[in-house]
Each structure stands twice: as structure tokens, then as C-alpha cells.
Amino acid sequence: MLLTSRRYSVADPVEAIELCFEKGWTDGLPVVPPTEERVRAMLDAARLRPGDQVAYIAHRAVSVTAEKVAINAVMAGCRPEYMPVVAAAVEGIGEPAWSYHGPGTSTAGAAVLTVVNGPIARELDINAGDNLFGPGWRANATIGRAVRLVMRNVCGSRPGTLDRGTLGHPGKLSYVIAENEAESPWTPLHVERGFRPEQSTVTVMAAEAPHQFYNQLSNTAEGVLTTLADDMRISGNVMGQPQYMLVIAGEHMRTIAKDGWIKADIRRFVFEHTKNSHAHLRRTHRMAGPVKPGDEALMRPLVESPDDILVVAAGGRAGAFSAYIPGWGSKRSSQAVTKEVKR
Amino acid sequence: MEILDPTTEATAQSIAYAPRPASLEGKRVGLIENTKFNSDRLLAKIGDILKAEYGAAETRMWRKHNSSVPAHQEIIEELKRTSDVMVAGIGD
């Protein structure tokens, strides 16, 4: 089937890379030139036709076709076998619940936090361990980059125009992890969200940067999570009640599991211990108006419900660190979405 | 060699604008606030000015579900029925 995108003739790959810069098609780093052969390999790997609609961004009236996703995936440096994951992530950010316009545009500067679950994560060597959010893995670096290039080139989310992030954060280059299902004692994220273990999925959440917390003293679940809750209580859009993701790494994972706690226990504990009094919120100018009688005892939860805390086991085996990640804005405005990777 | 354009070429769309009234005299003004802090106060103030200085007959305010989405359909339907002009604004 015909590829309908406009074509540009260039002398060689170096000139192609420079043309992509000149046209404003890159994230600031060089891209792989999107030739027809490479784009077709990408489409074939996901068994997509060029004209298939992967997502429809209602607020922008933009239809995101497989051809455009494939071109941007090539540019990002993806291998063809990553394409089904990229397509599932793009499908996810096109869901009404994710609500593209807010996280795509907002001054609060969200990135697309992407968690891959199921067999495909291991097949594609998507990092779930050491240096989780850092560089070093092609799949982690290029899948998220491809999604961001689609947002930029297809959906119009360019910094300064329709992407108005005040600060943004490095996760806007790529923000992809896998859950460490091989070593986790817990139910994987996708199974908690209604999929079978053998299905592969992508969960996308509009999110701030990861916040690392330290607890190198406790050998109990309650100890580790007390520290987490204390770090987390005032974070993100405190008044907005966004969703949160907890990324529990090796040492903490083993400590918490040793006490017999499952993910639901973590969610409940963290929900109960991250509430703020109205008095504190008013004194610190987060809630409008002066402190009123009763405000010391009146508590506001950080999230609407324990289910708004997504728990993922991932990160290196060594080191008593884990992370919490505030979602963008509020749950009312955007929610995490999980999509099956179709192959 | 040839490379392919990664952007979506804009397709022509036509948007029909409602005709603008020559004056606001006697008009019913709908105000749509986006839930952000003070957006209601800002729009109420604008509504007062439209009444005091431009002769608008009345103002009525609606609140969107949240600031990141377009006004939902019920608001738009009711606005069409009960207002002649509308003002939308944000609070930050």
C-alpha cells in the first residue's frame, strides 16, 4: 500500500539528519532518516497498514495514522519490533480518559510515563532494573522518544506553541520502564488493571519527574513506607489529587514483601499516611483562605482513593531507594490508561 | 535518497462563526469558567462591565468539568438556548 507522506530528496544520511533539524522535526537530538524501506519495516512488524488510524486526538481533531507513527518511530531509533509498543502507547494517549489536550499542552509540563508489562518487555529487553530511569537501553530510550516525536510532529505539541510546559522535565525525551515481573513477589500492574499475565500491555500516565526517597534504616514494610509517605505527603499538585505511581526497587521490595504486604496493603498504608490537614494546607498557601476552627483535624487525602496509587516493582537490586511519581494535574483531568500490545 | 515527512499535513477545514451582534444592548451573556482559582471572579467582573458599560441585559455563569477539556455538551446546548453571546476565560 502506498505511503502518502510528502517526500524530500537529500544527497546522503548526514544531509537528511540536518534537514530534519531544519524542519523542526526533532527533539534536539539527531534522528535516523525515515526512508521508505525503514518505515515499511516498522509497519510490517506491527502488521499495520499505512492508513490505519492508531489514535484520534479529539481536542485537536487530529487522526494519528500508522504511517506517521512509523515514520516517527524510525526517526527515534526504534527497532521494527518496538513498533507494536509504540503504537499501543500512542493509542493510550489518544484515549478520552488520558485527555490529550491537558497533559500535552499544560504549563505543568507532564511527560508520558510508560510502563511495559508482560512477555514483550523481556523479549525487547526493556530495562526493569539498574539505572531504571537512566540511559543505556535502546528500547527504553527510543520507544518514549518515538511517542514524544508523534506528539510533536503529528499532534502539534511543540515547545512554546501547543506545548507550554513552564519547566518540563527530562522524562519528556523518553520515560519508559518495564516492571520487574521476574523478581517481583507481587501481582503485575497489568494484571491488577484487568489483563492476563501472558498479555503484553503498555500503561501510560501523564506524570512529573520521579522523586527518589531514601530509607536505609528500616527492615520493616511499615518503616520504609512511613518514610515514603512523609516524603510524598507534600508533592506534586497537592490540591489537585492526581494519580501517583510508586516504583519500588529491589531492597525495599524485599523488605516490604518479607512482612507479607501485597500491593493493596502498600496502597492503603500510603493513602492513610499522606493526608494533610486543612490547617497545614492553608498555612502553607496551598489552600485558599485563613485557617478556620476545626482545620487542624480536617484531613484532605493526597489522592482520591487508594486505587489512584499505581504500584510497580522496578529498579536495581542494590540500594535502599525507591521513587514516587506524581501524576499531572488532577485525576479529573487525566487518568492512567492501559492498552494491550497487539502483535 | 528520499525521506518521508513525519508531520501531519493540515487538511483544510471550514469553521462557521456565528454572526457578531452590532451591539451588546439588551443581550443575554453566557460566561463559561474553567474551574481554575479566581476564574469565576474574573468572569463575574467582566460580566458586570458588560452590563454597566455596554448595556447587556443579564449574565449567567456555567462551570466546565475541568480546565483541560472543552465545555461539555449540556453547557453548549443550554447556552445556545439561553444566551445571545458568550465569554470564556481562564483564571491563571
pLDDT of residue B14: 77
pLDDT value of residue A60 = 87
Task: Verify whether the Cβ–Cβ distance B1 to A71 is below 8 Å.
Answer: no
Strand partners, A248: A313
Residue A178 and residue A116 in contact, taking contact as beta carbons nearer than 8 Å: yes
The residue assigned the cell 494533610 is A276
- All residues at 6 or more sequence positions from A318 whose CB lies less than 8 Å from its CB, including other chains: A250, A251
Is A149 close to B6, i.e. CB distance below 8 A?
yes
Q: Is the pLDDT of residue B91 over 70?
A: no
The pLDDT-based confidence of B89 (bands split at 50, 70, 90) is confident
Q: What is the predicted pLDDT for the residue at A343?
A: 87
Cα B74 to Cα B82: distance, rounded to the nearest angstrom: 12
Q: Find chain B residues with C-beta within 8 A of A10's C-beta.
A: 1-3
**Would strands A211-214 and A321-326 be described as parallel, antiparallel, or unpaired?**
antiparallel
The pLDDT assigned to A107 comes to 93
The confidence score (pLDDT) of residue A237 equals: 94
Write down the pLDDT at residue A327.
98
pLDDT band at B56 (very low <50, low <70, confident <90, very high): very high
pLDDT of residue B66: 82
Low-confidence ranges of chain A (pLDDT < 50): none
- Output the pLDDT for position B34: 87
Between chains, do B1 and A19 touch, taking CB under 8 Å as contact?
Answer: no
Asked if A334 and B1 come within 8 Å (Cβ–Cβ), the reply is no
Nearest to B5 among A8, A332, A334 (CB): A8
Q: Across all residues in chain B, what is the average pLDDT? A: 89
Q: Which residue type is seen at A68?
A: K
pLDDT of residue B12 exceeding 80: no
Residue A261 has what pLDDT?
98
